[in-house]
Structure 1
């Protein structure tokens, strides 16, 4: 029955009741009662009219909604029958902080960009004791040094393309890149010279996965994973500086700031890689004789094979071998020289002076370095060592005997709080310490504490007693270290070094030009 019929029926009933009531009224108050009933009738009619209007509106809205739903079904059916390609809506962004590194990724995780940074601030001093007045230098300077101050971005595109752009403002106390000048303009005029600059600017493709492993094809400016020590991050090594023998080797055609192209293939247990290398960033190369003097670029190649031969939950054993070839040394087109210098500072960067050095070896046509590496962990114990054999060919302008040098190191570390170093398959090296209980006054944690010791030696003497020999000196350094890992991002390092330099004045002059030193240094490290 409709609302209208209900309304009419109700009205008739009420009117009938009123007539009956009027007919039976016998008192003076009957008129007032009739008036009240009429007023109630009018109010009821108004409510019934409003209810009818609302019902009509609801019916119309329901019909409209049904029509829209039918239209959507029809469109969906049409799209299914005749699909039309259109733009894909952009993915959402997810912001995370892994290891306190600000990272933005698409919600599918295939595209990411992150900010990375590290600051290594060093301070220390030397007790340097030259053996004679013929020793050079006669003193080393105490002070501070912003060893590294890097900031940049790293990320990936479409899951398979990795990239990095990192600038290093460090090396502020390491001197200028060169003291040479032409026309009164110094080369390397910024503090640190070539030691500050682009540290990483590379692109790496990792989409190929042959033989159950992962292949990375990469090029640009990179920190090459050549040698075990260099493959380990400077944020993670137990000492403030790497061993001198390894630094001397990597400086020939590898190391930081190096332009390169190559590939590496790795699994959880095995790693193999080879790269063609060019000059390091900041190297001056120009055929011009005006400014600066012309020197060609150098070219070389490096290869490394390594892996875990034994591994378990709390132990592992790593071995490997490395090779490096300097194929084309820098050639000065103006002076007609082709030289190579092997040297390093005494495993500390407070004073930039080198204590052992071959000087500029003339007539170099090429060089090779071969090395063996080994490392192991057993719970909180860590061992690592490498040995290097150097060969320098001198046939560029006149046949001369080749030169042979050698050096190596052995180190051990023990984490007093029980943490262990984990293996990094991507670089075939060991990572740092992640404190189980980061330092916190509120939480009661004290971070992780580590003690370490290292024996390091390098011999840059060959053919002593001959005029065409090299008296670069032999350096032996013992280092003790105490490291406090406050948390994953902050570390304090304390190193004590005792060094002995054995050196003669020249290849044919056996006068003592050696020295001894003790040094103490501290590093404050912040990295993410």
Structure 2
């Protein structure tokens, strides 16, 4: 018998194997290939010409052709095809199971802790919730002259505040939690962000609890974002940096005072803002602080523009301008025929809050509006940086022939990181944040953490036509006082969560008494023109943990 049919069958079987490996519908194809191979073999056996004539039967017997080897080969090929079909079926099943597992993992929530901050995220990244917290415990010693009676000791605090008049002569040595915050922030449906932050700290006295931030933001407009709720719109270079990473425990007095006019934590507001690699822009409408109710709510606008005109691999220059415009001050009572006073009051503490006494104060000014202009400058080269701001404040009196008072303030500060790490410039809000070390502090590994020195000189002038000492003020005079502060500080960052700040401040307050009953009935109010300011030193220390 010829072996050509067997060869043809073998070739057909090999072709079927190759074809089956490339086709998804293997089961049906394998059956068809096996059937065709068997048919081809049968046809070859019955129709192929024989090389030798069939033997003639003799003696009642005949010799039949032996087909066992060929049949065995066909059976082996069919077995291999069947095994291959089962293998591919198993592969399809396992692949489908793996895909289902991957999809299940994508849908599963994840919990991570980065730099001590717990974060929950959905598998598709559309929803996140990060828990935040910070406590800042401040301790301070106020080094000032010993107090005497009100009749002979003329040092004073806010106008008309008997408690502050007492405290100005003996500021409180002690400690308080400046900030104690807990909250959650995150993302929802991809394009939305939210933030809820509750505050239990305070200035001099801890509070029962209040809303520090509660806002929602839409990010689906490209660079531009829209935010509404309660928050502090950026109103300056120092105002925009987080207090967790600021160079000193408190902002410079001029920056803090302007911030308090129409911004600050817990301010109801709506804002549009955007940023690029070198610029930021924001504009917000603001109302009252949460918890402050007036007869008519204050209405104001806060705007800021920043730009980085020059930068290199390890240096940059920052420029900025900001403005606050109060278009409607809060009313002090029912607005009957537009005769009720709409007061604006500017006052500020030294750059520490262990004692809450304000040493400079304009008192109430009946005004129809207020506007500020702020100029910003910042520069950084490696681990050295400097920043400065100047603010001009104009108050427009309401229905008055008196001159409109103008006030001003400025500061300059510099920081040098001893261990070499630079402050981090934040492009999203145009400000300088705290340095970060590569390795946390470790006594065993001799890793020091990050050490930083800081210096600042600030001036806040709330005087208008103040006149000379010993004189009676003019009708337009505002004797709010001038405060100058020199600060030297040392910061230690053992790791990304913990910070310690030690600082020394020398405070000079030059302020004249307006006389009358400005501070209260005699002897609370010193004679007109008497010096009610003072010089003092403050030693302070802050312990902070933030995540």
TM-score range, shorter chain: 0.7 to 0.9
Which residue of structure 2 aligns with residue 406 of structure 1?
408
| Counterpart-to-counterpart distance in 2, 1:140 and 1:520 | 12
Aligned with 2:207 (options 176, 183, 192): 192
Which residue of structure 2 aligns with residue 327 of structure 1?
327
| Counterpart-to-counterpart distance in 2, 1:172 and 1:244 | 14
Which residue of structure 1 aligns with residue 197 of structure 2?
166
Which residue of structure 1 aligns with residue 441 of structure 2?
439
Aligned with 1:142 (options 159, 162, 173): 173
Which residue of structure 2 aligns with residue 206 of structure 1?
219
| Counterpart-to-counterpart distance in 2, 1:171 and 1:118 | 13
Aligned with 1:113 (options 102, 118, 129): 129
CA shift at 1:89, angstroms? Answer: 9.9
| Counterpart-to-counterpart distance in 2, 1:172 and 1:356 | 16
Which residue of structure 2 aligns with residue 342 of structure 1?
346
| Counterpart-to-counterpart distance in 2, 1:192 and 1:237 | 23
CA shift at 1:160, angstroms? Answer: 1.7
Within 5 A, what are the aligned runs for 1:87-486?
91-129=107-145, 133-136=153-156, 137-171=168-202, 173-174=204-205, 192=207, 196-209=209-222, 214-285=223-294, 295-334=295-334, 336-361=340-365, 363-395=366-398, 397-464=399-466, 465-486=473-494
| Counterpart-to-counterpart distance in 2, 1:90 and 1:239 | 44
CA shift at 1:468, angstroms? Answer: 2.8
Structure 2: give runs of 5+ residues left out of the alignment: 1-78, 97-102, 157-167, 467-472, 516-526
User: Contact 1:374–1:386 at 8 Å: present in 2 too?
Assistant: yes
Structure 1: give runs of 5+ residues left out of the alignment: 1-58, 77-86, 175-190, 286-294
Using the size of structure 2 for normalisation, the TM-score is 0.73
Question: What SS does the corresponding residue of 1:401 show, helix, strand or coil?
Answer: coil
Question: What SS does the corresponding residue of 1:133 show, helix, strand or coil?
Answer: coil
| Counterpart-to-counterpart distance in 2, 1:89 and 1:375 | 46
Which residue of structure 1 aligns with residue 502 of structure 2?
494
Question: What SS does the corresponding residue of 2:281 show, helix, strand or coil?
Answer: strand
Question: What SS does the corresponding residue of 1:250 show, helix, strand or coil?
Answer: helix
CA shift at 1:94, angstroms? Answer: 2.0
Which residue of structure 2 aligns with residue 53 of structure 1?
none
User: Contact 1:173–1:192 at 8 Å: present in 2 too?
Assistant: no
| Counterpart-to-counterpart distance in 2, 1:94 and 1:334 | 54
User: Contact 2:125–2:190 at 8 Å: present in 1 too?
Assistant: yes
CA shift at 1:107, angstroms? Answer: 2.6
| Counterpart-to-counterpart distance in 2, 1:115 and 1:377 | 32
| Counterpart-to-counterpart distance in 2, 1:338 and 1:419 | 49
CA-atom RMSD in angstroms: 2.5
User: Contact 2:203–2:356 at 8 Å: present in 1 too?
Assistant: no
User: Contact 1:451–1:481 at 8 Å: present in 2 too?
Assistant: yes
Count of residue correspondences: 420
Which residue of structure 1 aligns with residue 534 of structure 2?
515
| Counterpart-to-counterpart distance in 1, 2:188 and 2:445 | 39
CA shift at 1:142, angstroms? Answer: 0.6
Question: What SS does the corresponding residue of 1:230 show, helix, strand or coil?
Answer: helix
Deviations 1:360-395 (A, max 9, x none): 22x211100101001111111011110000001111
CA shift at 1:88, angstroms? Answer: 10
| Counterpart-to-counterpart distance in 2, 1:157 and 1:106 | 10
| Counterpart-to-counterpart distance in 1, 2:255 and 2:213 | 20
| Counterpart-to-counterpart distance in 2, 1:298 and 1:309 | 36
Question: What SS does the corresponding residue of 2:291 show, helix, strand or coil?
Answer: coil
| Counterpart-to-counterpart distance in 2, 1:229 and 1:372 | 11
| Counterpart-to-counterpart distance in 2, 1:303 and 1:172 | 27
For the structure 1 residues 442 and 109, does the alpha-carbon distance in structure 2 shift closer, same or farther, using more than 3 Å as the test? farther
Using the size of structure 1 for normalisation, the TM-score is 0.75
Higher deviation after alignment, 133-142 or 403-412:
133-142
User: Contact 1:125–1:350 at 8 Å: present in 2 too?
Assistant: no
| Counterpart-to-counterpart distance in 1, 2:400 and 2:407 | 21
Question: What SS does the corresponding residue of 1:382 show, helix, strand or coil?
Answer: strand
Question: What SS does the corresponding residue of 1:512 show, helix, strand or coil?
Answer: coil
User: Contact 1:409–1:455 at 8 Å: present in 2 too?
Assistant: yes
| Counterpart-to-counterpart distance in 2, 1:408 and 1:460 | 12
Question: What SS does the corresponding residue of 2:440 show, helix, strand or coil?
Answer: coil
CA shift at 1:173, angstroms? Answer: 2.9
Which residue of structure 2 aligns with residue 6 of structure 1?
none
User: Contact 2:233–2:302 at 8 Å: present in 1 too?
Assistant: no
CA shift at 1:334, angstroms? Answer: 4.6
| Counterpart-to-counterpart distance in 1, 2:401 and 2:297 | 23
Question: What SS does the corresponding residue of 2:475 show, helix, strand or coil?
Answer: coil
| Counterpart-to-counterpart distance in 1, 2:188 and 2:359 | 46
For the structure 1 residues 172 and 386, does the alpha-carbon distance in structure 2 shift closer, same or farther, using more than 3 Å as the test? closer
User: Contact 2:514–2:528 at 8 Å: present in 1 too?
Assistant: yes
